C-alpha cells in the first residue's frame, strides 16, 4: 500500500526533519503515527499525500514509485487517498452536507450516491441534524467530524488523518477512532497522526513512532 525507504526531508537548506524513515503500511492495516510536536508527523503525511517531495529516499504508493509519476499520475494516486487536515479546510460557503458531498461531486458520482452516503456518514459521526448548517456555526469538534466525513465519503484506499482527535474531548476521540475502525473494516488502510502517545497506546494498533524525524521504538513507559 505504502512503502517508504530511507526517506529524508529537509525544507529549504535547513536540517533534515525526517531521516532514514523506512516503513511499510500493509493493505487494510490500521496504524498510529506518534511523536512529540515537531517530530515530523505532518511532514510524513504530506509526503505520502504528495503535497511535499522527499529530499531523498523512495516512496512507493499503490505500487507506483512517486518519483516516476507525472502530474496526471500523481493526481490519480492522490484521488485514492482521503486526508483529514489538522486545520480541517472546510469550505465556508458550503453547508455541512455539501462539504461532505464535495469529493463525490468532483468525482462525478450520481446524486443517488450523495443521497445514500451523506446522511449515513452524518449519523456515524453524530452530526445528524447538522447537515444544513454552515461550518462557521459548528464547534471545533463538529468541524473536525465534518472534515473526517469528507475524507472518507469516497471510501478511499488510504486514509491519512493529522491530529484528528486534537480538538475533542476523550469520549469523542474514542468515537472518532471507532469511525476510523469502521472505515478500516470496509477496506481502507488508516494512518492517524497524533502527538498523544498515551492515547494511541490505549489501542492495540501498530505504531510508527517518530523522534526528531527518525523512527524509534515507543518508550516503555508509554507502551500499552
Q: Three-state DSSP class for 8?
A: strand
Is 41 one of the binding residues for ligand ADP (CB under 6 A)?
yes
CB 75 within 8 A of CB 50: no
Owner of C-alpha cell 505504502:
2
Provide the angle, in degrees to the nearest 10, between the axes of the packed helices 96-106 and 111-124: 130
Is 38 one of the binding residues for ligand ADP (CB under 6 A)?
yes
Residues 6 or more apart from 109 whose CB is under 8 A from it? 154
Closest CA to 125 of 101, 152, 160: 152
Region binding ligand ADP by CB under 6 A among candidate stretches 31-39, 77-85, 181-189, 214-222: 31-39
Is 160 one of the binding residues for ligand ADP (CB under 6 A)?
no
Provide the angle, in degrees to the nearest 10, between the axes of the packed helices 96-106 and 140-152: 20
The number of beta carbons lying within 10 Å of the beta carbon of residue 1 is: 17
Is 17 one of the binding residues for ligand ADP (CB under 6 A)?
yes
Cα–Cα distance between 1 and 16 in angstroms, integer? 25
Q: Is residue 187 left, alpha or beta, with left meaning phi > 0 and alpha meaning psi from -120 to 50?
A: left
CB of 172 to ligand ADP, least distance (A): 21
Region binding ligand ADP by CB under 6 A among candidate stretches 40-48, 65-73, 127-135, 175-183: 40-48
Is 194 one of the binding residues for ligand ADP (CB under 6 A)?
no
CB 148 within 8 A of CB 164: yes
| Residue of the chain from 31, 32, 43, 82 that contacts ligand ADP (CB under 6 A) | 43
Q: Which is nearer to Mg ion, 42 or 184 (CB)?
A: 42
- Total residues contacting Mg ion by CB under 5 A comes to 2
Is 37 one of the binding residues for ligand ADP (CB under 6 A)?
yes
| Residue of the chain from 6, 11, 115, 132 that contacts ligand ADP (CB under 6 A) | 11
CB of 115 to ligand ADP, least distance (A): 37
Q: Which is nearer to ligand ADP, 95 or 167 (CB)?
A: 167
Q: Which is nearer to ligand ADP, 42 or 143 (CB)?
A: 42
Q: Which of residues 27-56 bind Mg ion (CB under 5 A)?
A: 41-42
| Residue of the chain from 4, 21, 25, 39 that contacts ligand ADP (CB under 6 A) | 39
- Total residues contacting ligand ADP by CB under 6 A comes to 10
Closest CA to 124 of 146, 92, 143, 107: 146
**C-alpha cell of residue 4:** 517508504
Give me the residues that bind ligand ADP (CB under 6 A), please.
Answer: 11, 17, 35, 37-43
Amino acid at each position: 500500500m505504502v512503502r517508504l525507504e530511507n526517506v529524508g526531508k529537509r525544507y529549504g537548506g535547513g536540517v533534515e526533519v525526517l531521516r532514514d524513515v523506512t516503513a511499510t503500511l500493509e493493505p487494510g492495516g490500521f496504524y498510529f503515527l506518534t511523536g512529540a510536536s515537531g517530530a515530523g508527523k505532518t511532514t510524513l503525511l504530506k509526503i505520502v499525500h504528495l503535497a511535499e517531495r522527499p529530499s531523498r529516499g523512495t516512496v512507493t504508493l499503490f505500487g507506483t514509485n512517486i518519483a516516476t509519476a507525472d502530474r496526471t499520475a500523481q493526481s490519480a494516486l492522490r484521488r485514492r487517498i482521503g486526508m483529514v487536515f489538522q486545520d480541517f479546510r472546510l469550505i465556508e460557503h458550503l453547508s455541512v452536507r455539501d462539504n461532505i458531498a464535495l469529493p463525490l461531486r468532483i468525482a462525478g458520482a450520481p446524486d443517488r450516491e450523495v443521497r445514500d452516503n451523506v446522511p449515513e456518514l452524518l449519523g456515524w459521526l453524530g452530526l445528524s441534524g447538522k447537515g444544513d448548517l454552515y461550518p462557521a456555526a459548528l464547534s471545533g469538534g463538529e468541524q473536525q467530524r465534518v472534515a473526517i466525513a469528507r475524507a472518507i465519503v469516497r471510501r478511499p484506499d488510504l486514509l491519512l488523518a493529522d491530529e484528528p482527535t486534537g480538538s475533542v474531548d476523550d469520549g469523542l476521540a474514542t468515537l472518532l477512532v471507532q469511525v476510523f475502525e469502521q472505515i478500516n473494516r470496509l477496506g481502507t488502510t488508516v494512518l492517524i497522526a497524533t502527538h498523544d502517545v498515551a492515547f494511541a497506546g490505549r489501542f492495540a494498533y501498530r505504531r510508527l513512532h517518530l523522534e526528531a524525524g527518525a523512527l524509534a521504538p515507543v518508550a516503555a513507559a508509554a507502551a500499552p
